[in-house]
Amino acid sequence: MNPFSAVCVFCEDIREEKSGQDTIVGTLPDNLVAAKSPSLGAAQNIRPGLPRLGVYLRIHLDAEQEIPKEVSAKVINTDGQIVANSTWDHSVVEKTFADSRENHMPVVSLIFKVVAAPFMLNMEGGKITVIAIVDGVERVAGALNVIVSTA
């Protein structure tokens, strides 16, 4: 198995249920058209945005591998700026590994979730990228291409 893999879902909302489960609402396509209101006029230079953007990331680690020293994730907006990031506390990673091994699970899962409202874009749109990082190794876990339209 690879040192790690990840699954990322872009959506409109993530709801935490009383049961502890998450409900992912309004999954988004890989290429999303964000409309810029023509009534605003290009001269006003008003940035387009999304009313809400949710990111649900699940990082999978091989339960038999050595416990990583550092696991983190970050969301990069269309301007290339980090807009959300998180590093799992090492004690949480150790406990998750111990639980997975005790239950004879082949993978260890760590979940990162964030909802931003509103989520501002640059004038041309671009890519929103989610990066998973394990012991300094970065991998693109997901990408959302946002196309800004005036139509």
Q: Which of 63, 54, 53 is nearest to 5 (CA)?
A: 63
Q: Which fold has domain 4-149?
A: Immunoglobulin-like (2.60.40)
Q: How far is CA 51 from the centre of its chain?
A: 17
User: Where does the pLDDT of residue 81 fall: very low under 50, low under 70, confident under 90, or very high at 90 and above?
Assistant: very high
pLDDT, residue 43, reads 46
pTM beyond 0.75: yes
The pair of three-digit structure tokens given for residue 3, joined into one six-digit string = 């040192």
pLDDT in tens, 89-121: 999 999 999 999 999 999 999 999 999 988 888
Give one word for 20, left, alpha or beta, with left for phi > 0 and alpha for psi -120 to 50.
left
Which residue ranges make up each domain of the chain?
A: 4-149
Give one word for 69, left, alpha or beta, with left for phi > 0 and alpha for psi -120 to 50.
alpha
pLDDT in tens, 12-31: 999 999 999 999 999 999 99
- Number of Cβ within 10 Å of residue 35's Cβ equals 11
